């Protein structure tokens, strides 16, 4: 709607994850480095947590891009599955067209695949997003997958990505065996005001902005307060602020446009 007015090539604040738009704050960079270290050093279990909208899924896609072709990956975005469904989906993600059989047969297929990849010098990574949705029994089943190993290496690296409550789940005494196997863990923090300012400029630049449109300092402070430093909320506020500026035929985003946008969003959320 406002692309032509602001001379942008694409929407700068879409909510769908896009690695081109990923802005590496120091915290996001450290998070990615932890993930890469855990996978490349074959640490077994790796955990990433953060608030809703903090950028976990986007980081996950950045991880996939960094790993390269010698790393075979299975990405599970919706883990509300039975054990058999999970095993079938893992195999399908790894290139098996239509895996069949009971739980034992599927485990044997997966183990055979992992051994084949290990003999070819390839690593295999299982990434499970929304891990806080997993039941205790499913977490135990996933732990058992980490038992697939040779004398010298783990056959699969498992990355669990979840909201802060997932950290609380892992404190359950009944999950102590899983907790003890977690070698790398990182919690994404909220963005600071400086982070948010840099984040907005970065996304505008990627979308084709050349100095304009811009957000003034007061607007960024208001967006920071509204979003609490959560990237998804920053996107929502910036998108509405651009729309408000467009409707007034303004070249940039002023505090007045931002106030209108925030008031509309807070009205929807009430």
DSSP structural state of residue 98? S
**Architecture of the CATH domain 3-9+191-269:** Orthogonal Bundle (1.10)
Residues near 130 by Cβ (< 8 Å), separated by ≥ 6? 77, 78, 79, 161, 162, 163
Residue among 206, 177, 144 nearest 11 (CA): 206
Per the CB < 8 A criterion, the answer to whether 49 and 200 are in contact is: no
- Position of tokens 């996950």? 60
Handedness of CA 37, 40, 44, 48 (dihedral sign): positive
- Beta-carbon count within 10 A of 175 CB: 15
3-class state of residue 46 by DSSP? strand
Per the CB < 8 A criterion, the answer to whether 216 and 254 are in contact is: yes
The arithmetic mean of pLDDT across residues 43-48, rounded, is 92
Fold match flag (3-9+191-269 vs 26-187): no
Q: What pLDDT does 8 receive?
A: 93
Q: At what angle do helices 193-206 and 217-227 cross, to 10 degrees?
A: 110
- Beta-carbon count within 10 A of 248 CB: 11
Q: Which residue has the higher pLDDT, 269 or 103?
A: 103
Q: Where on the phi/psi map is residue 188: left (φ > 0), alpha (ψ -120 to 50), or beta?
A: beta
* Interior angle at CA 186, CA 180 and CA 189, nearest 5: 145
CATH of 26-187, one of 3.40.50.300, 3.40.50.2300, 2.130.10.10, 3.10.20.30: 3.40.50.300
Radius of gyration of the chain (CA): 22
Distance of CA 34 to the CA centre of its chain: 14
The full length of the chain comes to 270
Per the CB < 8 A criterion, the answer to whether 34 and 27 are in contact is: no
Q: Is the pLDDT of residue 270 over 60?
A: no
Buried b or exposed e, range 91-121, using 16+ CB within 10 angstroms: beebeeeebeeeeeebbebbbebbeebbeee
Encoded tokens for 229: 């430093």
Q: What pLDDT does 211 receive?
A: 87
Q: Is the pLDDT of residue 116 over 90?
A: yes
Per the CB < 8 A criterion, the answer to whether 230 and 209 are in contact is: no
Residue boundaries of the structural domains of the chain: 3-9+191-269, 26-187
- Say if pTM beats, i.e. exceeds, 0.95: no
Question: Each residue of 25-45: pLDDT tens digit?
Answer: 999 999 999 999 999 998 889
Q: Is the pLDDT of residue 186 over 90?
A: yes
Question: Each residue of 155-169: pLDDT tens digit?
Answer: 899 999 999 999 999
Mean pLDDT lowest for which of 17-31, 41-55, 194-208, 254-268? 17-31
């Amino acid at each position: 709607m406002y692309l032509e007015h602001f001379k942008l090539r694409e929407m700068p604040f879409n909510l769908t994850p896009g690695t081109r738009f990923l802005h590496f704050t120091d915290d996001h960079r450290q998070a990615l480095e932890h993930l890469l270290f855990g996978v490349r050093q074959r640490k077994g279990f790796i955990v990433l947590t953060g608030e809703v909208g903090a950028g976990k899924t986007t980081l996950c896609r950045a991880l996939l891009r960094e790993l390269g072709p010698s790393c075979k990956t299975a990405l599970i975005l919706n883990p509300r599955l039975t054990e058999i469904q999970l095993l079938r989906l893992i195999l399908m993600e790894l290139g098996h067209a239509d895996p069949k059989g009971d739980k034992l047969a599927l485990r044997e297929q997966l183990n055979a695949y992992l051994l084949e990849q290990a003999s070819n010098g390839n690593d295999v990574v299982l990434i499970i997003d929304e891990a806080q949705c997993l039941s205790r029994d499913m977490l135990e089943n996933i732990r058992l997958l980490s038992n697939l190993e040779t004398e010298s290496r783990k056959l699969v690296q498992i990355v669990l990505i979840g909201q802060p409550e997932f950290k609380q789940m892992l404190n359950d005494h009944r999950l102590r065996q899983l907790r003890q196997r977690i070698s790398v863990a990182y919690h994404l923090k909220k963005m600071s005001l400086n982070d948010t300012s840099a984040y907005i400029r970065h996304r505008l630049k990627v979308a084709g902005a050349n100095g304009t449109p811009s957000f003034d300092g007061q607007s960024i402070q208001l967006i920071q307060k509204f979003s609490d430093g959560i990237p998804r909320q920053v996107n929502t506020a910036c998108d509405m602020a651009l729309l408000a500026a467009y409707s007034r035929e303004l070249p940039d985003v002023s505090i007045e446009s931002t106030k209108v946008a925030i008031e509309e969003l807070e009205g929807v959320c009430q």
